[in-house]
Amino acid sequence: MWHVLRSKFIALAAAVVASGFVASSAQAVIFSEATAGIDLNGGNTLTLFTLDPGFNQIAGTISFYSPGPNQFLVDWDSFAFIVPEGYQVSSGYLLGQNSNFSNPNYTAGWQLITGIEPFGSGLIATTTLVFGTTTYNSIPLSGLPILPGQYNFTQVQLSFGLNETASYEFGLTLTEIPDPSAAVPEPAALSVLAIGSALMLRRRTR
């Protein structure tokens, strides 16, 4: 009996240590247009990312510019992503940076939509960032948590002055979906630990 309980005690302790190690070993996944040489300006096919456990960062630049006389173009970005089974985007933010904006009302907005095609099949939420005149502005993403599936962030709004550019950054934290049944056995697990400790004390007093 003692050997069985001792084995359970060691296995439980090992599981606790292993779960802590997994949680702390998640690595950041970082993508930027400038580093990758990929423009996220959308089109008929969106760039697709599969999010990894931990922190994921997707960054780029957007602008309103004139390439020539009487020509006006908007460079706005959209991308698609996959949330793997068993995980969720539990927290996230949208950050904007500019160095020369003089209008405090400049904004850019993205819609979180189901599906990986442009505009997808169902609107979940809209996040609009006011860039203002400060160097950095950041707001939490709307529509969280994002459960397993295929999604896209489609940019639907940009109000900049002519020939003005700003950087943006999506920060998406991917965590395991809590198992509802995992919280139930905790008292039982504590009982095993308590019995194991009691038997250890009893064995020593003999």
The per-residue pLDDT for 8 is 38
**Identity of residue 128:** T
Angle, alpha carbons 174-180-181 (nearest 5°): 130
Top mean pLDDT of 4-13, 43-52, 165-174 is at 165-174
Higher-pLDDT residue of 172 and 2 is: 172
Q: What number is the average pLDDT over the span 184-189?
A: 54
Higher-pLDDT residue of 106 and 185 is: 106
Helices (H), 32-171: 33-36
pTM across the whole model: 0.74
The per-residue pLDDT for 131 is 85
Express as a percent the part of the chain with pLDDT over 90.
52
Instruction: Record the tokens describing residue 75, joined without a space.
Output: 């460079």
Express as a percent the part of the chain with pLDDT over 70.
72
Q: What number is the average pLDDT over the span 157-178?
A: 94
Provide the mean pLDDT of the chain.
Answer: 80
Q: Could you give phi then psi for residue 115, rounded to 5 degrees?
A: 95, 160
Instruction: Write the pLDDT tens digit of every residue in 14-51.
Output: 443 333 333 334 456 699 999 999 899 867 789 999 99
Angle, alpha carbons 142-143-147 (nearest 5°): 140
Residue with tokens 């995992």: 182
Higher-pLDDT residue of 193 and 53 is: 53
Q: Is the pLDDT of residue 10 over 50?
A: no
State how far the alpha carbon of 77 is from the alpha carbons of 3, 39, 41, 43, 178, in Å: 61, 8, 4, 9, 33
**CATH C-level class of 26-177:** mainly beta
Taking the C-alpha atoms of residue 105 and residue 17, their distance in angstroms, rounded to an integer, is 50
Report the relative pairing of strands 29-32 and 54-68 from DSSP bridges: parallel
Please, which residues have CB within 8 angstroms of residue 42's CB and are 6 or more apart in sequence? Answer: 76, 77, 78, 79, 118, 154, 155
The per-residue pLDDT for 204 is 53
Taking the C-alpha atoms of residue 95 and residue 139, their distance in angstroms, rounded to an integer, is 7
Angle, alpha carbons 142-58-54 (nearest 5°): 80
Q: What number is the average pLDDT over the span 185-192?
A: 53
Residue 17 host element (H or E): helix 2-24
The per-residue pLDDT for 135 is 73
Top mean pLDDT of 63-77, 141-155, 176-190 is at 141-155
The per-residue pLDDT for 15 is 40
Q: Could you give phi then psi for residue 175, rounded to 5 degrees?
A: -130, 160
The pLDDT-based confidence of 174 (bands split at 50, 70, 90) is very high
